[in-house]
Amino acid sequence: MKKLIYILVFIVTSCSTSKKITMLTEQDKESKSLKFPKALTSTIHNGTVKKVQFIYPFQHIDAKLFCAGNEVALGAPQDGLATVYVSASRHKNTGSFWCEYRFVVNKIEKKVAVAKFNIIDSKYPLRRLTVPKKYAKLDKETIARWEKESAHTAKVYSSAIKDRALFDKPFVKPLNSKITAIYGSKRVFNDMKNSWHSGVDFRARPGTKIPASNRGKVVLARHHFFTGKTVILDHGMGIMTMYCHLSEFKVEEGDIVPQGGVLALSGNTGRSSGPHLHWGVRVNGHWVNGFSMLNEGI
């Protein structure tokens, strides 16, 4: 009986080992036969997003895409092509960055450059604002609260859905009202605190229904110190939208909301100089101008 068990163990182990060796051989062969066209050269404004298609020739290799050192969601490539959303940091207004595939074959990391983006300066303006003193000069208790909220929000961002899209329509702006503050402007609060505006502000009377820009999952619906009552939607493909300074939630964390579904009512909570909606768009690690996403038909 013991001999029979030993034989079975040997057979199972041998088959398992054989599979691993075969897979590595297939990866190694594929790695040597990979062919890429000359790397794409394009331009992008800092603080914007571009929808791009890259050749994806991998079958047995698990390759990931990185642009400017940040991983970019690949989703599920089809017919040898990957549709991706490349975003550029608002804080880098000169120079260029590369996009490259990174993969490992036989424990050796390899890289293949597929695109180079030259950055065009968007030349964002300066704006001065006056807000209640507690939002400009923070006490220890407030700092502790802000740090706790920031840590949780960072986890939300790091858990972004990258393997698929939850949407199948282009994004739309949440409101058709007057824009009261543009994306990207440098901001000084009470002549003290320097910051920058990571979204677009829309005029919204208190109680205005706030719709979702696209189908997505509610990954945050909480009251934060700076952004007030806030909703964040994860749309997949590394894309998230944020809705801030709300007065009343109409959704809960975990809900799947269709495009146009009511998320909340507008308000004036958090660091706000008046009733409005702050709409933020985050793409693969960068807060970008949401209108650049609309222009790309994403």
Beta bridge partners, 96, equal 118
Q: What percent of the chain has pLDDT over 90?
A: 67
pLDDT tier, 12 (very low <50, low <70, confident <90, very high otherwise): very low
Residue keyed to tokens 């940040």: 70
Q: Per residue in 169-182, pLDDT tens?
A: 999 999 999 999 89
Q: State pTM to two decimals.
A: 0.85
- Mean pLDDT value of segment 204-232: 97
- Mean pLDDT value of segment 22-30: 65
- Mean pLDDT is lowest, of 34-43, 46-55, 59-68, 156-165, for 34-43
pLDDT tier, 19 (very low <50, low <70, confident <90, very high otherwise): very low
pLDDT score of 35: 74
Cα separation, 283 vs 276, in Å, equals: 23
Q: What are the C-alpha distances in Å from 141 to residues 97, 102, 131, 136, 271?
A: 40, 43, 19, 14, 16
- Mean pLDDT value of segment 209-221: 98
Cα separation, 84 vs 119, in Å, equals: 18
pLDDT score of 18: 44
Beta bridge partners, 70, equal 67
- Mean pLDDT value of segment 31-54: 88
Is 20 a residue whose pLDDT tops 60? no
CA dihedral 51, 54, 59, 65 (to 10 degrees): -70
pLDDT tier, 162 (very low <50, low <70, confident <90, very high otherwise): very high
Is 9 a residue whose pLDDT tops 50? no
Q: Give domain 40-120's CATH architecture.
A: Sandwich (2.60)
C-beta neighbour count of 298 within 10 angstroms: 22
Is 253 a residue whose pLDDT tops 50? yes
Over its C-alpha atoms, the chain yields an Rg (Å, rounded) of 23
**Domain limits, the chain:** 40-120, 126-295
pLDDT score of 2: 46
pLDDT score of 81: 93
Q: Per residue in 112-125, pLDDT tens?
A: 999 999 999 999 88
| Burial track 156-193 (b if 16+ CB lie within 10 A, e otherwise) | eeeebbbeebbbeeebebbbebeebbebbeeeebeeee
pLDDT tier, 271 (very low <50, low <70, confident <90, very high otherwise): confident
Could you tell me if residue 137 is left (phi over 0), alpha (psi between -120 and 50 degrees) or otherwise beta? beta
Instruction: Give the right CATH number for 126-295 from 3.90.330.10, 3.40.50.720, 2.70.70.10, 3.40.50.10470.
Output: 2.70.70.10
Fold match, 40-120 / 126-295? no
Chain mean pLDDT for the chain: 87
pLDDT score of 11: 32
- Mean pLDDT value of segment 214-242: 97
